[in-house]
Each structure stands twice: as C-alpha cells, then as structure tokens.
Structure 1
C-alpha cells in the first residue's frame, strides 16, 4: 500500500523568554511530519537550528525532496543515505518508527530490545540573566535533582555561584553554548570545582577544541555542537568525557541509537538533550535517556501549551507520555 507524507510548520509560544549565549527565543518553531499507511499514521517532529544552517523552509524543502522515497516505501535505514543528519531527517525517522509500531502492534521499546521508558530526572534550565535573577529562578526549582545553568562569557562565575547558593543540593550542568575560549575555560576550573558542577557542556566553539586533547579538566566536559553522529566520535573522543545525543543533530532515533551505543563502546559518558520543542520531540528521545548519565529534556516545560497526553514534569522528574502518544499502541 502506498504511503502518504505530509509536513507542516508548527509554532508553540513559550511561557517566558529562553535566553542563551547566542540569542533569545519566545516560541518553538518546529516541523511536524505525518506518514500514513491506510488508516494508520505515524508522527515525528524536528526543530531546525540556525547554528547548523537550518531553517523551517530548508527543513520542509528537504522533506519534500524525500517525498517519493517515503511514499514508495523507503525505510529508516535507507533514509540515512537519503538525507543529511538534521531536523528534517529526524522528523521523518521518528514518524517512521511511530508508524512501524502502530502497524506491527509492537512498541518502539520492544523493537529496540529495551524496557518501556519510566519517570526519570531531567534538568530544568536556568536561562541567562543577571546573577540575582538567576538565583531567584533557581530558588523556585531548588528541590529539583538537576539544573542546567546557561551562561555566557560575561561574569559566568557570579552566575554559577548565585545559582549554587540558591540551589545547594541540585546537581548542576553549566552550558556556555560555545561562548568561552581556552583562557576562560582554564580560569573557570576552580570556580566549577568549588560549585560542585557535575558537567560543563560545550564551553568553546566546536571548531576550536583541538587543545582539549591535552587538557585535564577538574569537571567533565561534554561535547554538544562538536558531535552529531557516530562517525564524529573519532575526532572528539580524546577531547571530551561525555557526549550529548540529540535527535535533531543525529537526524532521528535510528542514528541516535548508533551514536549512543558507539559512545558507550568508546568509554564516554552519555547525555540526552533536546531543543525547545513539544512532547512529540521528547517521546523518542526517552529511548536514549534511559541509557544516559545526564538527561536534559525540559523543552516542553517552556511551552504555554503542549500536546494532550504528552510528557509531564513534576519537580524535575519527567513522566513519559500516555500510552498511544508515540511509539506505542
């Protein structure tokens, strides 16, 4: 039976501005893909990211270019050669996983030989602001087990200390989003250690990290922008201690699973991350999260309105979607 494919731009307003070192957003702009076979439809979502040269328009164009391939029965493995890693491939790949689960009556968890996702700790993000404002934001969620602290190069020490003072028991991930340089990374080591930061995420530009080969950090450093798919590990393996697996970078759950397993084989720690997105992006990422040391899937927490039946955050503990939402029957 011939399939049908549809794709559209969806926008989800945020409850408050999401501010990081490279800009501010007030809405989550995503591409939503639906692939149908008879009366059964699978769904997937991708979030184009300007940092990687993506836009809503470019993602929709890539999806349209793959239409004949998908509608004529192309599968997830062959899709890896049809489209580059990125948001467009992610949306299609996840829709194919969902469709396969619904047609077969077998959940995605069962297909990959894993248990169904369970409630887990997921970071709540403290966005860039004045240190006192970040302290107030941290105090409101100080009971959460894990906080992610967005910083830039403008006095990050004060921001980190303010958050730590307001949330003395939470584990902290510090994320400069490539805004630091070697000098600042080296200078911040005692601050990070004193604040008991658990992880420093991509502090420097991904194309300027060669010096990390000989650097001995006091806090583990996680590759985010520096690693997208499994073949990137040959370059980053000696520079970072942890890799952040995001489906929008890897181009779907299929490639994300490959990256996660390869990273573990290489002896690297794992983090699961996301863009600001709906629960439709988060549901497949939970299958990477169950393997991970750090989980950062609070994208839907920022939305004014998410899909019914999606993930729920309760004090930094993320509950999976209701049965039938994605990847289950």
Structure 2
C-alpha cells in the first residue's frame, strides 16, 4: 500500500464572497491511495473559517499510514472506525482519506459506489449553482454567464430581499437563499413571506448556529422551510435539529466523509427531516463522491467544481442542471492535471 498527499490551490472563476469572508483561491488536499493495481482518490477543501489547512490535514492523514496499511483489506466503514481516533480534531482530513478508501474499495470490487450501496440512479435531485455575494450587477452577470435552472443566492446584508427582487427580474430559475447565520428570527419570518413570492424554495441557516430558541420560533412561523447548515456539523447534531429545522445540510468535510454522512442521512430520515448534501469548493474528486449519495437525497448543492477556473479531475459532471456519471468504478474520479 502507498499513500501520497497533494496540497493544491484551486483558482476560482470569480471572487467568491459570503457574509463573513471572500476568496479567489481555494486550497485543497488530494489523497492518493494505491494498493495493488488500483488507485483511489479523496479530497477535502481547506476552509480557513473552520481553521483547516492543507499542511495540517496532510500531517494527520500521514499519521494513519501504518494502521491503514494493516487494515487496507477491510471495508471503508471498518477502516473509518479503526482510524477515527487519529482524527478527533480534524474531520476534514478524515473526509479526504475516507473518500480515497471508498474510491479504492469500489475499484477493487469493480463497481461504482452507488451500486455497492444498492442504489439506483433514478429521481435524482437537481443541484443548484451558487451566486456569491456582490453587487447586484455582479450577481446578475454571474447568472447571465451561467444559465442554470436553480440558483443558491448567498446573502447576509441589510438589503437581502431587495437583492433577490432585482435578481428575479433576470431569470425564471428557482432560488434558494443562504443567509449564512446573518439574520434574526424576526427578520427571517418577515423575509420568508416576501421571498416566497419571489419563488424562493427554502432558507438555509438564517440564524447563528447556536440560536435554537430563535430557530424554534422560525420553525413554527416561517412560511418557507429552513435548512440547518452550520447548526449541523457532525452526527451528534442531527437529533438536535429535529423540531428546529425542516432539513439538514450535510457536508462531507465537516462530518468526516461518506461513512458518517450515510449514517446521518439514515438518522435524519428516521426523525422526519429532509436531507441535503452540500459541498465546499472541491474539484471533481470531491464532487464525484457526493454524487453517489444522490438517490438518498431531497436536495443537493454540488456545484463546487463548476466554480473553478481549472478543474484537476474528470468524473461525475453537471451539465444543464443534470448529473452525468462516467462509466468507471469507485467514485468515478480521475486526476487529469495539477494547476
């Protein structure tokens, strides 16, 4: 068995702004895991907001090489459990390794992941395309440059409803709104009434992540569904969201990979919560992993690779709002270049 890590800076097509940050480049870590004739690839974007760096992720992954080598013939779920003690403070690094292990496992079994899990590619949700914060003119230009049936609009200003009104003049596409913790409960309830008339589908994380008192009020009074993002990081958070949100948004990097994500999906459904899986700004390596969960999801946000100036991989692709799977095993991802 051989493991290598690659720390890369992925250049974005446009500056990406949300309510608390802005960036032009997305650092990411690629894990390459070889065993016999097969190679698996995993990825996790290094997000400064969560205190992650590619250097630290690489260090954490490399620490598990001895125990990984001893257990490489086991299932991804077994390997995740065995290596979990090494990743107590770094779910991002754990995610990159878990995806690589899954990819390798699928290749050794000569099957794509969704088939290993007993799933079929039917009734798949459409992914949104994200429009980051900017001037109205900039946001309209992004929509014009990238026609899409469903947009996620990043908000968090004093003029949020007006921004959506202006954007609505330029497209008939459905909208989703992500306030990134910037609103109060009262604002959310008021804004929801106005945004529903503008064909907004749901509101993602409108309140600060720990404001469950406010979310209880929003849950009862909002005319639009509310989706937990920052309030639902790990498995232990799923149950906390029941009765406060209508759905949860799972990020593979935050929870530690595909293995815990599948458990979170099952628990959420048992609690009557709908499920969304979101992305950071990964290349097609990370996006391809998300795609195999699609048959289990109500919503998905897997546009990360579309936001890149230059992708580094081939694999599952989005085109005209639809997902296209390659005829390859594992996740279907294949590195093509480093830029």
Give the match for residue 209 of structure 1: 212
Give the match for residue 132 of structure 1: 137
Aligned partners of 1:148 and 1:173 also within 8 Å: yes
Structure-2 change in CA distance of 1:10 and 1:322 (3 Å): farther
Cα-to-partner distance string for 1:243-296 (whole Å, 9 max, x where unaligned): 111111111111111111111111111112101110000111012222222221
Moved more, 34-43 or 307-316: 307-316
Residue number among 305, 311, 316 corresponding to 2:310 in the alignment: 305
Q: How does 1:149-160 map to 2 (within 5 A)?
A: 149-160=153-164
Are residue 233 (structure 1) and residue 238 (structure 2) matched? Answer: yes
Q: Equivalents in 2 of 1:242, 1:118: separation in Å?
A: 19
- TM-score, normalised to structure 2, is 0.88
Q: Equivalents in 1 of 2:146, 2:11: separation in Å?
A: 22
Give the match for residue 113 of structure 1: 118
Computed over aligned residues only, the root mean square deviation of the Cα atoms, in angstroms, reads 2.3
Give the match for residue 319 of structure 2: 314
Residue number among 14, 21, 46 corresponding to 1:16 in the alignment: 14
Aligned partners of 1:79 and 1:93 also within 8 Å: no
Give the match for residue 33 of structure 1: 31
- TM-score, normalised to structure 1, is 0.91
Give the match for residue 55 of structure 2: 57
Aligned partners of 1:118 and 1:320 also within 8 Å: no
Aligned partners of 1:44 and 1:92 also within 8 Å: yes
Are residue 178 (structure 1) and residue 193 (structure 2) matched? Answer: no
> C-alpha displacement at 1:241, in angstroms?
0.4
Aligned partners of 2:6 and 2:30 also within 8 Å: yes
Q: Equivalents in 2 of 1:315, 1:165: separation in Å?
A: 21
SS of the aligned residue for 1:16 comes to strand
Cα-to-partner distance string for 1:132-162 (whole Å, 9 max, x where unaligned): 33234334445x2211001112310111111
Moved more, 250-259 or 174-183: 174-183
Q: Equivalents in 1 of 2:333, 2:302: separation in Å?
A: 20
Cα-to-partner distance string for 1:221-248 (whole Å, 9 max, x where unaligned): 1001111233212211111101111111
Give the match for residue 246 of structure 1: 251
Q: Equivalents in 2 of 1:207, 1:61: separation in Å?
A: 31
SS of the aligned residue for 2:210 comes to helix
Residue number among 186, 202, 208 corresponding to 1:199 in the alignment: 202
Q: How many residues align?
A: 325
Q: Equivalents in 1 of 2:122, 2:111: separation in Å?
A: 15
Aligned partners of 1:90 and 1:250 also within 8 Å: yes
> C-alpha displacement at 1:26, in angstroms?
1.1
Residue number among 251, 263, 280 corresponding to 2:268 in the alignment: 263
Are residue 190 (structure 1) and residue 202 (structure 2) matched? Answer: no
Aligned partners of 1:141 and 1:315 also within 8 Å: no
